[in-house]
Amino acid sequence: MRTRSFSNFKATRWRVSTQTYFPGQRYCQQSPVARFSSSSTTLRKEWTPHALKPLGQDSQIRSSLKENHGIVSETLHTAYVALGSNLGDRIGMIERACNEMVTRGIKIKRTSSLWETEPMYVLDQASFINGVCEVSISVETTLKPLALLDQLQSIEKAMDRKKIIDKGPRNIDLDILLYDAEVVKHERLQIPHALMLEREFVLRPLAELIPGTAIDPKSPWKMTQDYLNALPESEGVSTVTPLTPEMEPLRALKVDRKTQVMSIINITPDSFSDHRALDTVKNTVSEIVASVQNKAVAIVDIGGQSTAPGATHVVPSTEAIRVQPLIKQLQGHRSLMELARKHFAISIDTFYASVARAAISSGADIINDVSAGAMDPHMLDVMARSGKTVILMHMRGTPATMNQLTDYPDGLIPTIAAELLQRIAAAEGAGVRRWRIILDPGIGFAKTAAQNLEVLQRLDELRHWPGLIGFPWVVGSSRKGFIGNITGVQRPDQRLMGTAATVAAAVQGGADIVRVHDAEEMAQVTKMADAIWRHAIRS
């Protein structure tokens, strides 16, 4: 049995119940409505009926097993590979292994989130980062199970993995969990993986990808989620989302996590609330450095054009000219500040792929796109190729048209969830890793004042929506028009107190990052809100 030292957060479980069973088909029950209370972080979910397919039904599975070794070119195969690391840059090691798989013709179709877990079996070692990827092996280089194992072990060797003790520390660990619907029993390989049914650190990420799939031919009525539910309840298990290699990752499911402050820097002549002159880069850098040193700011979000309602777009070249000098200067200062362990991330706020690419080359760590990749057909590809963390925001239309797109006949929260799930799927389809995605509900974008308030009131429900659990969330309510409408404060730069109230609400609702103009003041608000709702008192 594992021992754990996490906080009192109880990991989310799904209740799966079989209702009706026809040959080749299984149904289970799920409800999109999360039941929870402010006094408990335990979340109970049920399933609504939907058809499920056994593993490999979509693939052309041979009627009989042939040899388990060698290269064939008969069909397309799907496998599930477990990823693990507990030495060095754990997330970096896993991403390097994924990149190695791709270079060897093993296409990664989807990934789970990355989960931080305490060690199992050998307890005297560092915590692990674990995940699962769904891989597709192309027709041209189709690998049989043992040949795929050879490739994975070759990657481990290339990454200098050294096995000191069985189940002990390792910089990278790659295991085949499933391969189509095949059963393999070989001295080097067993499929389904021999120990996966007792390992929460395997079943949890696997259940993100195939929760309603039968994974053990000996019990075809039991689904992935059933096996996860049967394990003892864990406390404090969380996803991890990297910002920079030097910074602690976001842990979206940790109850006592710190809310991070993202400082808005608009290098534009027309921003609705931050009329920062284009020639003030030097002063801006000094302000940012001071905020980081005071531990007020963790992320700097730099934008070169306004996305306020009705704003006119500037061309990509103009936007790039505005933002690159600041990013480059910040990158230079960051190298010096890191010597004093003062770390921060640089985010580029753009919906242009070319601007995002230029910003990344200048030193940006995060791509923040208000359109979630919908306004530039090349953006998702740039996001995927960059390997950086991305922010996908909910919006409809464009900044010029979004105020006419506020009708949500199926309900605001269900629709935001559904439309974000579509953008997540598009990003994953382009190659963005799930663990690299942060979500934004899009306050002020294609929403009325009442709808903005509803998002703040129901943010925790949105966070726990099926398919969205485990993602970090950024909330950007700072100085927005609905605050002025309610408080009667017309000048955006005077909406400090109204913004403070929305920031506190965002923390209560579970935001991981708040995007604000008045960083020093809002850092005080988040400290107090964290102490109230997250029991996190920090210096």
Instruction: Please pick, among 10, 322, 479, 515, the residue that the annotation labels catalytic.
Output: 515
- Sequence length of the chain is 539
Cα-to-chain-centroid distance, residue 9: 19
Report the distance separating Cα 293 and Cα 196, nearest Å.
Answer: 45
Using the Cα atoms of residue 298, residue 392, residue 79 and residue 108 in order, give the sign of their dihedral.
Answer: negative
Task: Write the DSSP assignment of 166-209 as a string of letters.
Answer: TT---S-EEEEEEETT--EE-SS-EES-TTGGG-HHHHHHHHHH
Query: Which structure tokens are listed for 172?
Result: 């990278």
DSSP structural state of residue 473: B
Mapped onto helix, strand or coil, the DSSP state of residue 156 is helix
Out of 26, 90, 480, 527, pick the active-site residue: 480
Both tokens assigned to 274:
């931050």
Per-position b or e across 239-259, b if 16+ CB within 10 A of its CB: bbbbbbeebebbbbbbbbbbb
Residue position matching structure tokens 């199970």: 145
Whether 282 is a known active-site residue: answer: no
| Amino acid at residue number 142 | T
The C-alpha atoms of residue 189 and residue 179 are separated, in whole angstroms, by 11
The answer to whether the beta carbons of residues 253 and 239 sit under 8 Å apart is: yes
Contact 97, 114 (CB under 8 A): no
357 is catalytic: no
SS3 content of the chain, % helix, strand, coil (to 5): 35, 20, 45
Please provide the DSSP assignment of 18-44 as one string: EEEEETTEEEEEEEEEEEEETTEEEEE
- As a whole number of angstroms, the distance between CA 70 and CA 63 comes to 18
Active site residue ranges: 480, 515
